Chains A and B, each alone.
Chain A
Amino acid sequence: MLILLESWMKSALQETQEYVRLVGAILRACVTRPFYFRDVVDQFEEIGIGSLTVVVLTGFFTGAVLALQSGVMLDQFGARPFVGRLVSSSIIKELGPVLTGLMLAGRVGSGIAAELGSMVVTDQINALRALGTDPVRKLVVPRVLAGFFMAPALTVVADVVGIIGGWLIAVYELRVASSLYWLSVVEGLFLQDAWMGLIKPFFLGFAIVTIGCHVGLRTSGGTQGVGRATTNAVVASSVAVIAVDFFMTRLLIPLLY
């Protein structure tokens, strides 16, 4: 038992060390040459535009179901007109960033781990190095930049679509006047909430992509290993989204409020 625990601790520490080393290499590569601009543009499109559909659908249905559930609850206090306030503050502060993060973990984190993992097991990463290319600069940095900047942009999209989803339910299902809903949305929002909802996704995007790259680049064991890496990347980045969200919220509350 003790031996098992020791070996688990050792491998966890090694993983952490390698992850920190990768993050260090990414930060160094972001500020030094060479820089693969075309790959950065490609990844912005792949991660940003490519994730739009899933983020829009998630945001819409989250906003809609939130309005539906809170409408029932608010009815007990005769506060149905305040449904907009509840939808906007929940989505912008918490649900928008977290659900967008989870969707990105599923779509982007797994895709990156599978792609890089396949490149590792087919020697393409070694071929890149043999051709004089640093895989961190060529493959990791463009993905990290795209994840870092596109996660907040996608979160804003999810927030807007979520509030629209809530509006549709409020107007057509709960029979709340449209103007009352929008007034309630605006009244329920404070600048601090918007900052909270905008700052967190930068860190969530960074965590999702760096975990996907780390797991992908450490793939071993052929095609079976690629499958394992993909699963590990989704699990680890999903947990990271929730954990980073908690710690960032804990950090931002005293700073913003």
Chain B
Amino acid sequence: MELSTPRSPELEEALGPGAPIVVFDKVSLSFDDTVVLKNISFSVITGHTKIILGASGSGKSTILKLILGLLKPDSGVVWVNGERVDHMTERQMLNVRADLGMVFQEGALFDSLSVAENVGYKLSEELRMPSELVRARVEEMLRFIGLAEFSDRMPSELSGGQRRRVAIARAMAAKPRILLYDEPTTGLDPITAVTVDNEIIKLRDLEDVSSILVTHQLRDAFYVATHEAEQRNSGMLEIVHADEDKVEEAEFMMLKDGCVAFEGHAADLRGASDDYLRTFLS
């Protein structure tokens, strides 16, 4: 089932491996007198993972909302999937969002819909796919996240971890090329958080999704950066320690008061000597 938004051969080549799929160039945003982002610049490479860390209120979630076009920057340029989105109208943004998946804090599942209806929402309501194809894709996604038997449950009947995993399945149902995670493990116990982290790793490594993970949970950030999913010959899926090249594909960015305080890889972050970073890491 091919669902991702079709690209021209030129764009496909331009956004191929090693090319930036999301670019922020000197982006600033304020709400009234509060400065949220100050001259932020960074890029996300196709197939890589960008992990955005920072204290509460440092502007992490705002970055995801700017990518989705839910907010517009005061100044600066935002490129997503080869399109400049910072000046797009809501209607124009709908095409860009077709290739984006977002996992909200707490899941943001639709209360009035069952798990299966939540996961298949975009396919049936927006893409108007035939119901049998929707059902097949929903079953595939629920199997992937290990919640196949929960398809008829309502969101209120799920635990916090299950809600996040269903939210991941919903975001991934239409096979977007970019997945955005907004604090997907906040409020979860460590064991449940690992199951959510494993879904993020599986999607990144098996479905070739470029990911941006916003979190302030260091343990989860390092886990996602240093592990990879491997499909064994027997068909079994395993989450194992990643090799050095794979670890290099996860880039960390630390925000402090709306500015970038650090950008680099897991090893660079662990070895950082800056007082703020040391405090954060400790």
Chain B residues near A132: list those with CB within 8 A.
94, 97-98, 122, 126
Q: Mark B195-207, 1 if CB is under 8 A from A, else 0.
A: 0000000000000
Given A132-B97, A132-B98: A127 and B125 within 8 A (CB)?
no
**Interface size band for A:** 10 to 19
Which residues of B in the span 36-83 have a Cβ within 8 Å of any Cβ on A? 65, 68, 70
- Min Cβ gap B119→A in Å is 11
For the complex, is B222 an interface residue (Cβ under 8 Å from A)?
A: no
Q: Taking each of A132, A133, A134, which has the highest tally of chain B beta carbons within 10 Å of its own beta carbon?
A: A132
- Min Cβ gap A19→B in Å is 18
Chain A residues near B170: list those with CB within 8 A.
131
Taking a contact as CB atoms closer than 8 A, the residue among A118, A122, A123, A131 that contacts B121 in the complex is A131
Which residues of A in the span 12-43 have a Cβ within 8 Å of any Cβ on B? 34, 36
Chain A residues near B108: list those with CB within 8 A.
122-124, 126-127
Taking a contact as CB atoms closer than 8 A, the residue among B98, B106, B122 that contacts A123 in the complex is B106
Given A123-B104, A123-B106, A124-B110: A129 and B121 within 8 A (CB)?
no
Chain A residues near B94: list those with CB within 8 A.
132, 134
For the complex, is A130 an interface residue (Cβ under 8 Å from B)?
A: yes
Chain A residues near B90: list those with CB within 8 A.
129, 134
- Min Cβ gap A29→B in Å is 11
Given A132-B98, A133-B125: A127 and B104 within 8 A (CB)?
yes
Chain A residues near B105: list those with CB within 8 A.
123
Which residues of B in the span 107-134 have a Cβ within 8 Å of any Cβ on A? 108-111, 121-122, 125-126
Given A124-B110, A124-B111: A130 and B125 within 8 A (CB)?
no
Chain B residues near A138: list those with CB within 8 A.
125
Which residues of A in the span 147-192 have a Cβ within 8 Å of any Cβ on B? none
Find out whether the CB atom of B100 lies under 8 angstroms from the CB atom of A133.
Answer: no
Could you tell me the distance between the alpha carbons of A36 and B126 in the complex, rounded to whole angstroms? 10
* Smallest CB gap from A42: residue in B: B112
Could you tell me the distance between the alpha carbons of A34 and B126 in the complex, rounded to whole angstroms? 9
- Total interface residues on B, CB under 8 Å, equals 23
- Min Cβ gap A250→B in Å is 38
Given A36-B125, A123-B104: A130 and B110 within 8 A (CB)?
no
Could you tell me the distance between the alpha carbons of A118 and B156 in the complex, rounded to whole angstroms? 14
Chain A residues near B97: list those with CB within 8 A.
129-132
Given A123-B106, A134-B90: A129 and B68 within 8 A (CB)?
yes
Chain A residues near B65: list those with CB within 8 A.
126
Q: Taking each of A123, A126, A131, A132, which has the highest tally of chain B beta carbons within 10 Å of its own beta carbon?
A: A131
Find out whether the CB atom of A127 lies under 8 angstroms from the CB atom of B126.
Answer: no
For the complex, is B221 an interface residue (Cβ under 8 Å from A)?
A: no
* Smallest CB gap from B64: residue in A: A130
Chain B residues near A127: list those with CB within 8 A.
102, 104, 108-110
Chain B residues near A124: list those with CB within 8 A.
108-111
- Min Cβ gap B164→A in Å is 13
Find out whether the CB atom of A130 lies under 8 angstroms from the CB atom of B100.
Answer: yes
Chain B residues near A133: list those with CB within 8 A.
125-126
- Min Cβ gap A116→B in Å is 12
Could you tell me the distance between the alpha carbons of A126 and B93 in the complex, rounded to whole angstroms? 13
Taking a contact as CB atoms closer than 8 A, the residue among B70, B98, B111, B171 that contacts A129 in the complex is B70
Chain A residues near B125: list those with CB within 8 A.
36, 133, 138
- Min Cβ gap A226→B in Å is 13
- Min Cβ gap A133→B in Å is 6
Could you tell me the distance between the alpha carbons of A85 and B105 in the complex, rounded to whole angstroms? 61
Instruction: Report A's interface with B, CB cutoff 8 A.
Output: 34, 36, 118, 122-124, 126-134, 138
Give 10 closest A-B pairs by Cβ, nearest first: A123-B108, A127-B108, A130-B102, A123-B104, A132-B126, A131-B122, A132-B97, A132-B94, A124-B108, A130-B68
Instruction: Report B's interface with A, CB cutoff 8 A.
Output: 65, 68, 70, 90, 94, 97-98, 100-102, 104-106, 108-111, 121-122, 125-126, 170-171
Q: List 22 A-B contacts (CB under 8 A).
A: A118-B111, A123-B108, A124-B108, A124-B109, A124-B111, A126-B70, A126-B102, A126-B104, A127-B109, A129-B90, A130-B100, A130-B102, A130-B104, A131-B97, A131-B122, A131-B126, A131-B170, A132-B98, A132-B122, A132-B126, A133-B126, A138-B125
